[in-house]
Structure 1
Amino acid sequence: MIGRSPMDLRRLRYVIAAADTGSFRKAASKLNVQQSTISRAIRQLEDQLGVSIFERSRTGARLTEAGRRLLEEARTAVELLDLAALSAGEAGRAETGIVRVGIISSLAAGFLRELLSSYFSKHPNIDVDIQNGRRDEHITAVQRRWVDVAILAGVSDVEGCDTVVLWEERVHVALPSDHRLANRKQVDWPDLFEETFIVSRMGPGPDVTDFILRRSASLGVMPNVVYRAVVQETLLHLVALGQGITLVSSAWMAVQLPELVLRPLSGSASVVQFSAVWSTQNDNPALRCFISVAHVLSGRVRRGNSDWVRHSV
């Protein structure tokens, strides 16, 4: 440490300037302050340390041995503090930093992929940490600030959080290519009453299960649902192998798997909205930029300090 008590950074800058120029007068001119200001500040620092930092003469100021040792540490301290201030400023302007994004959807195509691509392009120095998980896990993570923002299926109020609908996708049925419904252009929900649904225990499995149960309950049917402890892509391979059928969002249309077909479910009830959820207490500048990019991409504009609204409003 430079000393046993906190030291005024301004005084250290005066010491460095005086040492570099060899004169209090020249240091004052360099820093655009009064010479008396520098002389008084350095004298106060000498009193604080109990040693002389400079030998004064009519020709200028020369460092003492104690002054030379102080200068070595002062330069390092000031450089580190300047670097910290620069880094903080960059983070505050979202020029650097990290945003942690929880997802349950596929990144194969669609709005989410376009959102991330746009964000990478606009903020290349910000690290984006993508985390897969279940809906309940993401909500808890957002509330506890382990994740900055979660992209979830559906719309619901989350305590302590802001929510905005970004886009919607039609639900598709994943079928083996030799399935009796594989040649249909679209599938009606009653066509699936006798089918076995296989659902992942991982995200987005719980959301898929909830959708199946709600749609079936609306028609008074009890669906046959079987759970598998696999990721979504493995689940689709199981469908292709004839182990059952499942439901996916339209983003999975970009994924080509052998002996697998995707067919859209008919009806307005088969369109799912996707929302961004983030804590109202999260002041991460990188998050604010992420939400801004998401708003713009979803077709919203901001007028002054007002909330984001649709272009048509």
Structure 2
Amino acid sequence: MGINIDIRHMRVVLAVLDNGGYTAAAGKLYVSQSSISRTIQEVESSLGVALFRRTTRSVGLTPEGERFVAVARTIVAQFEKGLNHFSGYLAGRSGSVRLATVSSVASTLLPDILSRFCQQRPEVEVSIQDGFSEEILAQVSGGDVDFAVTALHRTPPDLQSETLATDRFVCIFRPDHRFAAMAQVTWADLQDEPIIAFDQKSSIHLQLHELAQKLGISPKALLHVREVNAIGGLVSAGIGVTILPSLLLPTVQFVSLDYKVVRSPVLERKICLVYDALRPLARPALDLMDALRDARDHHMRLPPEARWSKRQGRRAVATPGAGASGRAGTRA
């Protein structure tokens, strides 16, 4: 027959040793001395050895007791550590969050929010997956991430979305470009203009392509580039202009560029919190979603031509229980 000892037994043995006897252990554990004696007898009977050398004045360990206490301390410490971690997980103080987002959000909208969140919950591990919008939505649908913050043109039927912020599409160009002297830039002005375009898989490209078809214009895309830093460098070299959402303006500040909102019409983009309402989420994920919703209340600044949206009614989620022109950077 195997040894039948549980955490309660180990706690009592350690209490007797650490408090110097049965009476003191009983007071520490708020039980009777007879209960302590009975528990020690159960342990020794199960083990088949004596753990303590008893005298009228003290209680000492036998050699077998010393080995048992070493094992018991390790097990009890690990057990308590596990319970503390689980308690923190339930309270949202520990655990992990898997978030998917697009580069324009990851580099501009998220940093301040995540900094505040991580300071308040240092034991929560936040993992960020970035990619194109369609890739991100697939990750949410497939359960690979807890939720996403992404540019959203249309909400997939199996997901829920809440608009957090909106930004405008702006034309970015060199300060010596003809657009700098114009009162405004319209989509028609881009008809024969060389364009450094964003990757064709991106939501930016898809939204611009849809508008161009409606307006009956076909801007000349010289290059399609995935990284916005590369786009900024190419525009700065005079190869062409680019059309980007205003949230990306801070990412091209390493070069001297101007920008204007493209008009007739002004095209806006929605930045949304996207999630599967039927998927249970742990407390850390729910808390980070709330932090994103609450960001506007903390007056977190956004780049020019971007603004926080009005708060929407919070939807149920399963639980386990400024101006038309400006500067995109400083002149060198």
TM-score w.r.t. length of structure 2: 0.77
Query: Are the counterparts in 2 of residues 168 and 274 from structure 1 also a CA contact under 8 Å?
Result: yes
Counterpart of 1:14, as a letter, is V
Q: 1:183 corresponds to which letter in structure 2? A: A
Asked if 1:239 corresponds to 2:235, the answer is: yes
Mapped contact 1:101–1:148 kept (Cα < 8 A): yes
Question: 8 Å contact 2:166–2:270 — kept in the other structure?
Answer: yes
Q: Does 1:276 align with 2:263?
A: no
Q: Which moved more, 1:242-251 or 1:103-112?
A: 103-112
Identity rate of aligned residues, in percent? 26
Between stretches 108-117 and 160-169, larger displacement belongs to 108-117
The aligned residue for residue 262 of structure 2 is 265
Give the match for residue 41 of structure 1.
39
Note if contact 1:184-1:263 (Cα within 8 Å) is conserved in structure 2: no
After TM superposition, give the deviation of residue 117 of structure 1 in Å: 4.1
Secondary structure of the corresponding residue to residue 293 of structure 2: helix
Q: Which moved more, 1:147-156 or 1:108-117?
A: 108-117
Residue aligning to 2:248: 252
Match for 2:9: what amino acid? R
Give the whole-Å Cα distance in 1 for the aligned partners of 2:54 and 2:225: 78
Tell me how far 1:215 sits from its aligned partner: 0.5
Distance 2:57 2:67 in 1: 22
Aligned partner of 1:27 in structure 2 is: 25
Alignment map for 1:134-213 (pairs within 5 Å): 134-158=132-156, 161-201=159-199, 206-213=202-209
The 3-state SS of whatever aligns with 1:194 is coil
Per-residue CA distance 1:32-77 (angstroms, 9 max, x = gap): 0122322233322233323332345655644322221100111111
Shift of 1:20: 2.0
Amino acid at match of 1:271: E
Offset, 1:161: 4.2
After alignment, is 287-296 or 84-93 more displaced? 84-93
Amino acid across the alignment from 2:31? V
Structure 1 counterpart of 2:273, which letter? A
The within-5 A match list for 1:31-110 is 31-56=29-54, 59=57, 61-106=59-104
Structure 1 residue 18, shift from structure 2 partner: 1.2
1:214 aligns with 2:210: yes
* Shift in alpha-carbon separation, 1:10–1:267, aligned structure 2, 3 A: farther
Question: Displacement, 1:129?
Answer: 3.6
Q: Indicate conservation of the 8 Å contact 1:155/1:275, yes or no.
A: no
* Alignment: residue pair count: 302
Aligned equivalent of 1:292, options 290, 293, 307: 290
Distance 2:139 2:288 in 1: 17
Q: Which amino acid aligns with 2:99?
A: V
Inter-partner Cα distance in structure 2 for 1:302 and 1:58: 72
Q: Which amino acid aligns with 1:89?
A: S
Q: Taking structure 1 as the reference length, what is the TM-score of the superposition? A: 0.81
Q: Supply the distance in 2 between the matched residues of 1:113 and 1:229 (Cα, whole angstroms).
A: 24
Change (3 A) 1:270 1:6: farther
User: After the TM superposition, which of the residue ranges 113-122 and 148-157 deviates more from structure 2?
Assistant: 113-122
Deviation at 1:17, TM superposition (A): 0.6
Task: Look up the equivalent residue of 1:116 and give its one-letter code.
Answer: L
Q: Which piece of structure 1 moves more, 232-241 or 292-301?
A: 292-301
Structure 1 residues 91-129: Cα deviation after superposition (integer angstroms, max 9, x where no partner): 333334443433324369864444334434544554444
* RMSD value, Cα: 3.2
Distance verdict in 2 for CA 1:206–1:220, change over 3 Å: same
Unaligned runs of 5+ in 1: 309-313
Aligned-partner Cα distance in 2 for 1:213–1:107:
21
> CA shift at 1:294, angstroms?
1.2
Instruction: Write out per-residue CA displacement over residues 144-182 of structure 1, whole angstroms, 9 at most, x where no aligned residue.
Output: 444333221125434654422101111111223333223
